Amino acid sequence: MDAIVRARNVLLASGRRTPHEEVDAYRVLAQVSPAAYLPRLVGALRQLGYDRSYDDRPEACLALCEEAVAAARAACDDFRQVPELLGGQADEPGDLIV
């Protein structure tokens, strides 16, 4: 319960939060309320993947991308929604690469 309160406080606090703080908070909240927080976790993971600190650590960036795809799949009832949640789009069902 304390982790949930801390996660909510991080997200509600005034001021700027780091991408790492955001991802950590959404990871906790997604366990409690997946429908509400998995899509936000996907966005936070994608944003963290653009962080310059991962420029020299491609394996860590890949792990973030894999986690984002897994979260997007878990958040979507229909796999056709996954590319949209990940920031892309697919014209045909065969175009999905997730």
Residue numbers of the domain that contains 91: 2-95
**At a CB cut-off of 8 Å and minimum separation 6, what does 62 contact?**
none
pLDDT (average), residues 7-34:
92
Percent of the chain residues topping a pLDDT of 90: 46
Q: What's the angle, vertex CA 61, arms to CA 59 and CA 65, rounded to 5?
A: 115
Task: Provide the domain count of the chain.
Answer: 1
Name the pLDDT band for 38 (thresholds 50, 70, 90).
very high
Give dist(CA 98, CA 67) in Å, integer.
Answer: 11
**At a CB cut-off of 8 Å and minimum separation 6, what does 30 contact?**
37, 38, 40, 41, 71
pLDDT in tens, 53-77: 888 999 999 999 999 989 988 887 6
